[in-house]
């Protein structure tokens, strides 16, 4: 099986309010405690053209020293699903198939969709400078302000903003502290531009944090509410939303998440991640993310003319991303996908443009913030691979 992103970037680049607890209504059904190793719950495959055996094998190995729970949905022409692992390593209770989880940077897909809706409504111009909508954002050092398109395609030239640490260990010590998006962005723009807008593609949260601010400025509404009314509600994503500000909890059914902190397996489920906001603070389920994939590629939330632009990689050396999503070629098949990684949580959504094959998975993995390719190789690529 071959995996080839566009240009020179290898597949590891994959990793490169009503959304309050009121929206996250608890789901029914909690599994009883079982021994720590749980046989995968797998539905019978009803489609040709993918390696279901490899997915079954991957689930059979969960839990292992890294992944404690795995939930997978394969869709398109036929469907397949499976889950394995434990809800809590202390009790050995089996993983919940309807679990909510921190979806990380898959949030960016929602943010891009909202911005493109505003473009369709002629309230935002893709090629207008961001300063048109956020006039006080950039200091004089930005002699050439980035455009909305530059932000969407990670080519804005903005530097990373303020953070609470660069490693999981560093961030863990500050996990209940709050760093506002405004503080994140202020620290970024104070450094001046890293490069001329459009010159290079550099993936990062900062582009989408600014887009969240732009959405609020244009709509005179909260980003969370705009995401709910424009994306979550129309697509029936009833169990997707955002924590209530700095709320560190995941409300409703969820599997516990773990990371290695100072050499010890540590529960990292409770964590205030509001600084990730429009770039990565969404909580969702695999079923809801599958609805997002089908709704987006089916033209239900972004007009097809703008979807074409969303799925266009800019003419920049080494670029692999369009708007939010990254382009890959897997066994000759073009696939668009997005990963999301937060401490203890690793998420993937991906699809062919024609929706003949889709995959969504959520892993509770200690290696979530490391090189994601080994996890993608085990739990996602078989969905797009030819049968051996």
Q: What is the pLDDT of residues 132-142, one digit of tens each?
A: 999 999 999 99
Q: Name the residue among 100, 76, 98, 123 with its Cα closest to residue 31.
A: 98
Contact 316, 155 (CB under 8 A): yes
Pair of tokens at residue 314: 């800019």
Other C-beta atoms lying within 10 Å of the C-beta of residue 46: 11
pLDDT computed for residue 385 by the predictor = 83
Q: Assign 22 a pLDDT band (cuts: 50, 70, 90).
A: very low
- Report how far residue 206's alpha carbon sits from residue 63's, in angstroms, rounded to the nearest whole number: 34
- Report how far residue 1's alpha carbon sits from residue 17's, in angstroms, rounded to the nearest whole number: 43
pLDDT in tens, 94-109: 999 999 999 999 999 9
Q: Is the pLDDT of residue 175 over 50?
A: yes
Q: Residue 167 domain-assigned?
A: yes
- Report how far residue 85's alpha carbon sits from residue 113's, in angstroms, rounded to the nearest whole number: 33
Q: Residue 61 domain-assigned?
A: yes
Q: Is the pLDDT of residue 159 over 50?
A: yes
pLDDT computed for residue 48 by the predictor = 56
Q: Residue 51 domain-assigned?
A: yes
Of all helices (H) and strands (E), which one includes residue 221? none
Q: Which residues contact 234 (CB under 8 A, 6 or more apart)?
A: 295, 300, 301
Q: Is the pLDDT of residue 4 over 90?
A: no
């969370």: which residue's tokens?
224
Pair of tokens at residue 187: 């620290």
pLDDT computed for residue 29 by the predictor = 29
pLDDT computed for residue 74 by the predictor = 97
Q: Name the residue among 313, 254, 290 with its Cα closest to residue 100.
A: 254
Contact 215, 181 (CB under 8 A): no
Q: Is the pLDDT of residue 33 over 60?
A: no
Q: Strands 333-342 and 357-365, how do they pair?
A: unpaired
Q: Is the pTM of this model over 0.85?
A: yes
pLDDT computed for residue 41 by the predictor = 60
Q: Is the pLDDT of residue 1 over 50?
A: no
Pair of tokens at residue 175: 């996990």
- Report how far residue 112's alpha carbon sits from residue 56's, in angstroms, rounded to the nearest whole number: 33
- Report how far residue 22's alpha carbon sits from residue 37's, in angstroms, rounded to the nearest whole number: 34
Q: Is the pLDDT of residue 21 over 60?
A: no
Mean pLDDT computed over 153-176: 96
Q: Is the pLDDT of residue 70 over 60?
A: yes
Q: Is the pLDDT of residue 347 over 90?
A: yes
- Report how far residue 305's alpha carbon sits from residue 5's, in angstroms, rounded to the nearest whole number: 24
Contact 59, 281 (CB under 8 A): no
Q: What are the CA-CA distances from residue 29 to residues 98, 321, 348 (Å)?
A: 9, 39, 25
Contact 223, 281 (CB under 8 A): no
pLDDT computed for residue 288 by the predictor = 98
Q: Can you give the residue range of the structural domain that contains 203?
A: 3-383
Mean pLDDT computed over 278-299: 98
Q: What is the CATH number of the domain that holds 168?
A: 3.40.710.10
Mean pLDDT computed over 191-204: 98
Q: Residue 310 domain-assigned?
A: yes
Pair of tokens at residue 178: 């709050």
Specify the number of domains making up the chain.
1
Contact 14, 372 (CB under 8 A): yes
Mean pLDDT computed over 296-303: 97
Listed range (47-51, 69-73, 265-269, 308-312) with the worst mean pLDDT: 47-51
Q: Is the pLDDT of residue 13 over 60?
A: no
pLDDT computed for residue 42 by the predictor = 54
pLDDT in tens, 34-56: 333 344 565 544 445 789 999 99
pLDDT in tens, 325-337: 999 999 889 999 9
Mean pLDDT computed over 190-201: 98
Average pLDDT, the chain: 89
Residue 181: HSE in the Cβ half-sphere, 13 Å Cα cutoff:
22
- Report how far residue 235's alpha carbon sits from residue 293's, in angstroms, rounded to the nearest whole number: 10
Q: Residue 388 domain-assigned?
A: no
Higher pLDDT, 34 or 115: 115
Q: Residue 207 domain-assigned?
A: yes
pLDDT computed for residue 387 by the predictor = 59
- Report how far residue 83's alpha carbon sits from residue 63's, in angstroms, rounded to the nearest whole number: 11
Handedness of CA 10, 319, 117, 157 (dihedral sign): positive
Mean pLDDT computed over 238-261: 97
Q: Assign 19 a pLDDT band (cuts: 50, 70, 90).
A: very low
């Amino acid at each position: 099986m071959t995996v080839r992103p566009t240009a020179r970037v290898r597949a590891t680049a994959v990793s490169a309010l009503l959304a309050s607890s009121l929206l996250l209504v608890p789901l029914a059904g909690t599994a009883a405690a079982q021994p720590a190793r749980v046989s995968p719950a797998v539905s019978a495959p009803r489609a040709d053209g993918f390696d279901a055996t490899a997915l079954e094998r991957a689930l059979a190995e969960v839990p292992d020293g890294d992944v404690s729970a795995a939930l997978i949905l394969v869709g398109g022409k036929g469907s397949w699903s499976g889950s394995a692992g434990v809800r809590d390593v202390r009790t050995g209770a089996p993983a919940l198939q309807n679990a909510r989880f921190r979806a990380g940077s898959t949030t960016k897909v929602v943010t891009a969709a909202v911005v493109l809706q505003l473009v369709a409504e002629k309230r935002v111009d893709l090629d207008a400078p961001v300063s048109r909508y956020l006039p006080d954002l950039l200091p004089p050092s930005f002699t050439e302000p980035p455009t909305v398109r530059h932000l969407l395609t990670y080519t804005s030239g903005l530097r990373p903003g303020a953070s609470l640490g660069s490693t999981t260990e560093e961030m863990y010590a500050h996990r209940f502290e709050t760093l506002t998006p405004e503080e994140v962005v202020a620290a970024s723009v104070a450094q001046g531009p890293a490069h001329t807008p459009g010159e290079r593609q550099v993936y990062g949260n900062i582009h989408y944090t600014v887009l969240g601010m732009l959405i609020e400025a244009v709509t005179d509404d909260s980003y969370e509410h705009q995401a709910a009314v424009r994306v979550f509600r129309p697509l029936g994503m009833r169990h997707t939303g955002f924590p209530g500000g700095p709320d560190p909890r995941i409300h409703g059914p969820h599997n516990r998440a773990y990371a290695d902190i100072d050499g010890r397996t540590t529960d990292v489920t409770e964590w205030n991640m509001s600084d990730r906001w429009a770039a990565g603070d969404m909580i969702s389920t695999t079923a809801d993310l599958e609805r997002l994939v089908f709704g987006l590629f089916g033209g239900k939330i972004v007009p097809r003319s703008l979807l074409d632009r969303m799925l266009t990689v800019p003419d920049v050396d080494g670029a692999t991303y369009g708007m939010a999503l990254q382009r890959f070629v897997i066994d000759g098949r073009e696939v668009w996908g997005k990963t999301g990684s937060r401490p203890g949580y690793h998420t993937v959504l991906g699809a062919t443009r024609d929706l003949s094959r889709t995959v969504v998975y959520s892993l509770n993995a200690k290696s979530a913030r490391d090189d994601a390719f080994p996890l993608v190789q085990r739990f996602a690529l078989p969905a797009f691979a030819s049968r051996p």
